[in-house]
């Protein structure tokens, strides 16, 4: 099941998408929930590269109304950048203070090495120990993979050394393996104004859309079609 919701009120749009979705079949009020946005660079979401804090606010409000008490936000910016700076620049410190939701910098987290198929991958423990991971990527393009959305957003749950290694391995297959090692509870895609030409932003394309669904591959497939239709010449 995929829910697509449109609207200018980002918080309400996100809340409404989750309220209309089947997340209630998988979520329990007693779960410890981790929200994983995309804060790859310390740039405001209006540039088209990072997750709007209003989207995460909508998720927090939905979770609180559902009865969830244990909520945290986890992230690791890309190699060479500071997650702490991204939390500040992207508006997450204010969100954390207002709703008493801790911000976890995965660059400082310990890791566990796990194996899937031919790949041994170190994964941040905060991403593994949560009961329910809500993956909140931005729908945008990427210079190597064409699309970056739910599946690739989990790359923020590995240490910088692994991020570098993934690129030497070709990205696609190790990202697929990573998605077998980290269980996504639900996906909420920020398609408010993602950059459909470059992952660092700068050319945002306004869509005012939230996309929600359980399966990262299914949601990514739908989002890939949206990018294809946008790029396809008339």
The reported pLDDT for the residue numbered 204 is 83
Q: Residue 44: count other Cβ atoms within 10 Å of its Cβ.
A: 14
- Integer angstrom CA distances of residue 158 from 20, 107, 150, 177: 32, 8, 15, 12
The tens digit of pLDDT for each residue in 162-195 reads 988 987 888 889 999 999 999 999 999 999 998 7
The tens digit of pLDDT for each residue in 192-207 reads 998 776 565 657 889 9
pTM above 0.75, yes or no: yes
The C-alpha atoms of residue 201 and residue 194 are separated, in whole angstroms, by 7
The tens digit of pLDDT for each residue in 60-69 reads 999 999 999 9
**In 3-state terms, what secondary structure has residue 161?**
helix
- Integer angstrom CA distances of residue 180 from 92, 142, 174, 192, 215: 28, 22, 10, 28, 12
Least confident of 75-79, 99-103, 219-223, 230-234: 230-234
The reported pLDDT for the residue numbered 140 is 87
Could you tell me the domains of the chain? 2-106+127-158+182-220 (3.40.50)
The reported pLDDT for the residue numbered 233 is 46
């Amino acid at each position: 099941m995929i829910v697509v919701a449109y609207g200018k009120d980002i918080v309400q749009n996100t809340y409404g998408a989750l309220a209309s979705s089947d997340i209630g079949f998988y979520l329990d009020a007693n779960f410890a929930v981790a929200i994983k946005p995309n804060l790859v660079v310390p740039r405001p979401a209006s540039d088209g590269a990072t997750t709007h804090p209003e989207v995460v606010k909508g998720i927090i409000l939905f979770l609180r109304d559902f009865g969830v008490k244990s909520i945290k936000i986890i992230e690791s910016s890309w190699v060479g950048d500071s997650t702490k700076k991204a939390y500040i620049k992207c508006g997450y410190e204010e969100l954390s203070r207002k709703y008493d939701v801790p911000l976890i910098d995965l660059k400082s987290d310990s890791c566990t090495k796990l194996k899937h198929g031919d790949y041994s991958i170190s994964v941040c423990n905060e991403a593994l120990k949560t009961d329910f991971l809500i993956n909140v990527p931005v729908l945008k393009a990427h210079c190597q993979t064409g699309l970056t959305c739910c599946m690739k957003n989990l790359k923020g749950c590995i240490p910088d050394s692994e991020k570098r290694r993934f690129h030497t391995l070709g990205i696609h297959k190790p990202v697929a393996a990573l998605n077998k090692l980290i269980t996504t509870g639900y996906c909420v895609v920020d398609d408010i104004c993602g950059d459909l030409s470059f992952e660092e932003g700068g050319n945002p394309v306004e869509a005012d859309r939230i996309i929600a669904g359980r399966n990262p591959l299914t949601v990514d497939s739908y989002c890939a079609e949206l990018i294809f239709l946008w790029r396809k010449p008339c």
